Structure 1
């Protein structure tokens, strides 16, 4: 019998330091071929990301939370033709590939989930001519514009039949959560899935912040690990790769990895026990041993235990939903927006941010993909907190050279010179440089004296396929109504910013990436025109509406009701209480007036005058017999209790004191 679990297991055998592929024989269906993976590479093939020595590495192992990059595969038209235009075969091949990659990443406590597969059956949707860096740039631009809006994912990988010489694949570094650069390209020129899976795992590793192992003091269980610059067929990550991944997570570069894919998003054959929540499952705790440590999920049934509401997700704690209004994804920048739990789901709301093109940093910059992009901030990130942008002449002079220290990107396997109008969008030029802080990688630094100023630029030598951290970030303001896009200074019209915050959000919010108002605290969505609790229709509730009635009842019973009871008790037992306090007289006549309301009696209004002149001569003769006047203030819900004690004064005259309060013998405030 064949159990469903075998559908997802990679056909590979690991013995000691070697990995062996297992495939059915084309000539005998009941027989299999076994081969060593490192023997199937016909020629040395490498990643398009050159390597450099790295400093400040430590080998301390750190246990991470489990992360799940959602991955989308795209098959190029020529690869589809290579598979005889058999879509079923292509889909099976890609699912098998994703499962193999997932098995590789388990060692880092990372699960790779295939959430989409798109096959270009008619023609390629991007131009695949030119160098690998150019193709990668076109693919990620297409992804940002076309794919991201219609399918939630963390990284997209383009699979091509085309070869780029000795380059097996290319990807951007530390961009797994980036809308603009979260992807890579991979050359699949044969049918060996295990060997090719190592290449895709390598390029995906770049997305996850990993640099090459070459020349670094790394510990590897085999002769070469996955992030070696050559295609080794390895399935092991080195200590350097684990450290790189940890650094990216600590620098909040991987926040999107906490978004667990929904059961209906996974593109795979479901089965209980794979630790992925598939369709029809409430949870999946994995093996029997793993399930013994899970308080929420049942083993083998993939159902929640009795009393449990959830078993996973950012909005699940101790098997219960977190209350609505709990922050599940905080804001990381003035151009980012927080998301909240809704109280009825274990998953956080989809990540949204301020709409691209919204002015930020006091109108000196623009928001772009959740970050306020400005030159000084980029210089500080590379050269330390005291660095700042260099004069414009530095950009125009250095970036006109078209070398690795000054350029506007890549063209035809080389560096592209910047035209004068695009110079501010090329290599970043800084001044007041004191240190280098990016990635812990030691870059090459060039100092160029121009016009009495020193211009500093860097080259991290990460390759033509990787956006060098020393380049100006996309979305940076390069002039009035101008913004850097793809190393060009373009009109801000390209951002399609169409939000009039004064009209649409009534001046009390900003538009988010879904073009909905995100309201300030104190104003209610969707248009911030009435009082409320802030947030948007996309962010989740910023307060817990389900508990507001409960809280009101608790306040009434534990605060308001006891105070009311106390007031009634004091009123009914006032004489006895006054005697106990020594304020009563054995013989007295007079009145007690209870005044309730927010206003103040005239007696209180004239207190200043009374205090100034309290002589008997100032009082009418009929009031001379007043012995004492005491005011007792009871601070309860705006109520004011006034007790007036007199001798030889009847009730009418006593009440009249409130109307003609110019006479006073003595005033005591209690």
Structure 2
């Protein structure tokens, strides 16, 4: 959570009072989300006590929101990891809008943010505003026309403290579509801003687990009374915790979603999956024709499909030029001061998305069709409310020309996407660079610089190889070494008995040979005297027998 300088001054420049208000506000919001089984935790608090690093007075709520998420991406996330950030501004509403948020962008480093305005001391009421905007980040749309207006996600501020079934379904859809991966990891105790209390479902300092009160707790690994792990348990929750034990190092905990994404693995000693990492922004993808941005290979066709269905694709460039130079709700390059911006012709591909071969169906939007050269170009206004940015704007990082990409409604050199990694020098040309600037080594090479043999991955992803050395060692010991040791011990213990048994067998064999010797000599076939002599000598009896000549 970020508190702007205006709010800091409203609280008489008292950082303790600001922190207390932020914690109180978060606790109220957390209580509202409890019914959805969502835990809201304050993992960082930044107070702009000197001055605001972004302009929060000029322009519309959308302008300020865009400035905030841009500052978050370039500044805040490098210092403080978070699933979503919220800026509280000490001022009156923006033309009636008390807040604004991107929809379904929790976990996004680019758009994972929201803002709200607070100009009084009614913290409980403002908590409903924050809960509303956070709901948008979690994929929740307005309840208007779907559910009754007496819930948090209704478009008009009504002070409700409860979520509707529509909101619950929206959040479930976000999770099922893979949009909330970062929500599965609990924050580190050292990152939590709260009063430490056992039983509040927040992992505070000196706690090993916290599953709620004794009446609420259903976790078999955690002792609710002490917030300590039960005997024999290594962990109580997390993607790398199973049956109260750490998963083995190298077990994949977050798979690669697409070309621009990277997988993460358990390290064998920690219950949570490493932070989500992906290929550095600006890396070429799709046969060097497009660019990775925020873990996705950005292109017009995929954006059209996400809105209009699988058959949709990018409209011809002329459709973008015709629509986006107008500067209305169906064609623009964003908004400033509550008014739509006209796109200069050279930037028209970076404004409102224009698609063809669409399926409008039950699309909750107003659409217009432009017929150009026999092609029907479609653009839509979703009219989601004053607190939600237009979801039909071309994404940042989308190719708009040879070596160019869209950045903030402008078609600029693709170098502005921020790719700055020399894999030849840094990674020995055996890796790609992730969004932290570290080498993600190819299989066969070890991080951090891919200069030694190994199993691939990066220092951020966790070990990519399942460590079976202990298992293999135990198998060798129990299947090979232990049986040999047992045989040796038996041989040593029983050596006298074995020796006696062997000696008795040898004496018995000699006696049998003595009895059989005369019968052999009187048989019908007789050997020569010399042979007879040798035979009897070899048997240990030194007698010479004489036989008459035939």
Instruction: Please give the range of the TM-score, normalised by the shorter of the 2 chains.
Output: 0.7 to 0.9
Choose from 205, 208, 228 the match for 1:303: 228
Is residue 296–residue 311 contact of structure 1 (8 Å, CA) maintained in 2? yes
Which residue pairs with 2:426 in the alignment? 504
Within-5 A mapping of 1:478-493: 478-493=400-415
Choose from 105, 129, 132 the match for 1:199: 129
Which residue pairs with 2:373 in the alignment? 451
Do residues 415 (structure 1) and 344 (structure 2) align? no
Is residue 334–residue 371 contact of structure 1 (8 Å, CA) maintained in 2? yes
Change (3 A) 1:160 1:525: same
Deviations 1:102-155 (A, max 9, x none): 111101000100011111112111111121111111111111111011101111
Choose from 456, 460, 481 the match for 1:534: 456
Which residue pairs with 2:486 in the alignment? none
Task: Specify the SS of the correspondent of 1:134.
Answer: helix
Deviations 1:394-450 (A, max 9, x none): 1111111101111110012111111111111111112222356xxx75222221012
Task: Specify the SS of the correspondent of 1:421.
Answer: helix
Change (3 A) 1:474 1:535: same
Number of equivalences: 481
Deviations 1:527-558 (A, max 9, x none): 3344421211110001133x325415636875
Which residue pairs with 1:141 in the alignment? 70
Which residue pairs with 2:521 in the alignment? none
Cα distance in 1 for partners of 2:477, 2:397 equals 52
Is residue 264–residue 279 contact of structure 1 (8 Å, CA) maintained in 2? yes
Which residue pairs with 2:300 in the alignment? 375
Is residue 235–residue 244 contact of structure 2 (8 Å, CA) maintained in 1? yes
Moved more, 445-454 or 192-201: 445-454
Is residue 136–residue 465 contact of structure 1 (8 Å, CA) maintained in 2? no
- Which one has the bigger helix percentage? 2
Change (3 A) 1:508 1:556: farther
Do residues 548 (structure 1) and 478 (structure 2) align? no
Which residue pairs with 1:183 in the alignment? 113
Is residue 99–residue 387 contact of structure 2 (8 Å, CA) maintained in 1? no
| C-alpha deviation, 1:521, in angstroms | 2.5
Deviations 1:158-215 (A, max 9, x none): 1112112322111111111111111111111111111111111111111111111111
Cα distance in 2 for partners of 1:190, 1:109 equals 30
Task: Specify the SS of the correspondent of 1:328.
Answer: strand
Do residues 93 (structure 1) and 14 (structure 2) align? no
Choose from 455, 462, 475 the match for 2:397: 475
Which residue pairs with 1:256 in the alignment? 182
Deviations 1:294-328 (A, max 9, x none): 21111221111110001111111110000001111
Deviations 1:54-81 (A, max 9, x none): xxxxxxxxxxxxxxxxxxx211212111
Task: Specify the SS of the correspondent of 1:264.
Answer: helix
Task: Specify the SS of the correspondent of 2:330.
Answer: coil
Higher alpha-carbon Rg: 2
Is residue 410–residue 464 contact of structure 1 (8 Å, CA) maintained in 2? no
Moved more, 300-309 or 501-510: 501-510
Return 5+ residue gaps in structure 2 as ranges.
484-550
Change (3 A) 1:269 1:407: same
Cα distance in 1 for partners of 2:366, 2:481 equals 70
Within-5 A mapping of 1:606-621: none
Which residue pairs with 1:242 in the alignment? 168
Change (3 A) 1:290 1:529: same
Which residue pairs with 2:326 in the alignment? 401
Q: Structure 2 length normalisation: TM-score?
A: 0.84
Cα distance in 2 for partners of 1:105, 1:290 equals 16
> Cα RMSD over matched residues?
2.0
Cα distance in 2 for partners of 1:560, 1:86 equals 70
| C-alpha deviation, 1:503, in angstroms | 4.2
Choose from 34, 51, 54 the match for 1:106: 34
Which residue pairs with 1:348 in the alignment? 273
